[in-house]
Amino acid sequence: MRLDAKQAAGLRECADYLDQNWLELSAGLEGFLADEKLRGVHRHAVQWGDADSMGNSFIHMQSGRFNWFRNLADLAEPQYTQQWLDLTGPRGVGLILASIKTDYKFPMTYPDRVTVLHKLTEEPKPDSDRFDLEVVIYSENQRRPAARCFEDIVVYDYQAGKKATLKPFVVKKFRELYHLQLQRQKESEKKVAELQDIITEIEKSV
């Protein structure tokens, strides 16, 4: 198979795009938001101490959840920043991890870099007292998920000693994120289709 200059340039353009945007496309196809400002963990270098006996980095899930909420605090309106931060600790209304399920795909080993992304599995309601997050841990070396985690998180009022509902500003932000997830998924699907069309046309013409 011999390509002319235009076809070769088209393939190079596709390859370069995939090389530079593999994470955004891979994550976006599943509805994950890979924006750097929302990443629970961003290209963390794997160290020997990060892995458990099975070579899987559970610690990234824990730190990723905490960082994700800190990111939301950084992006919040100033009057809500501290309340977002309070959600991560045992004061006032906070969050408790009720259950967690992890599906390990392959062991993370040194050297590698880890990125952790979060996704709301459903749109919250005003009276929601819990929510579910799907978490994916990406290996930069493998360019695919090394593990996937499902977290059930309960809203808890530490002062009252009982469950509570999400505060309105949290519900509002979560709804924005949920709809942005759906939008990102459609955008990623469209981009992948465009790349496939380019490659298909080149294959037909040679």
- Output 87-92 pairs: Cβ under 8 A, ≥24 positions apart: 87/170, 90/158, 91/158, 92/157, 92/158, 92/159
Tokens 């994120």 correspond to: 177
Domain boundaries 35-184, corresponding CATH code: 3.10.129.10
pLDDT value for 51: 60
Task: Specify the higher pLDDT residue, 153 or 10.
Answer: 153
pLDDT by residue (tens digit) across 88-101?
988 889 999 999 99
State how far Cα 14 lies from the chain centre. 24
Residue 112: count of CB within 10 angstroms of its CB: 18
Spans of all domains in the chain = 35-184
pLDDT value for 1: 60
Does 151 score more than 80 pLDDT? yes
Compute the distance between CA of residue 39 and CA of residue 47 in angstroms, rounded to an integer.
Answer: 19
DSSP 89-102: TTSSEEEEEEEEEE
Running DSSP on this structure, what letter comes out for residue 79?
G
H or E element in which residue 117 lies:
strand 113-120
Residue 90: count of CB within 10 angstroms of its CB: 10
Q: What is the pTM of this model?
A: 0.92
Does 52 score more than 80 pLDDT? no
